[in-house]
Amino acid sequence: MPTKPHVEAPVTEVVSLDALAQQRRDALPSPTTFELFGVSFTLPPMKSLPLAMQQKVNIENGVAVLSYALGEAKLKEMYDAGFLFSDLELIAEEWLSRAGLQPGESQASPSS
């Protein structure tokens, strides 16, 4: 019975991105505290939000991302203070600009 010649499997290169990912995380700006109509709130850098958030809200919808980041208690405080939807849009726009993003620009974009 003839034997098959031994063929070595191609070597797969493994690239660890751990150090690069940590450098990017370390370079994120500090959280920003905003104040509007007597309500103070602190938002983390947008790029530090958990990936699981993308499953819950449309990342391109700044108000939805803002609502997620603020949480229900802070949103209730804003509602009680008489905030309008346009106020939430203003906050989302300012938050996006501080993250170096423009409204409608996904943070997952490699060019951002």
Assigned domain for 88 exists: yes
> Structural domain tally of the chain?
1
CA dist 89 and 84 (Å) reads 9
What pLDDT is recorded for position 29?
86
Predicted TM-score (pTM) of the model is 0.68
Which residues of the chain fall below pLDDT 50? 106-112
Assigned domain for 62 exists: yes
Assigned domain for 97 exists: yes
CA dist 19 and 42 (Å) reads 28
CA dist 76 and 89 (Å) reads 16
Which structural domain, as residue segments, surrounds residue 78? 28-40+57-102
Assigned domain for 63 exists: yes
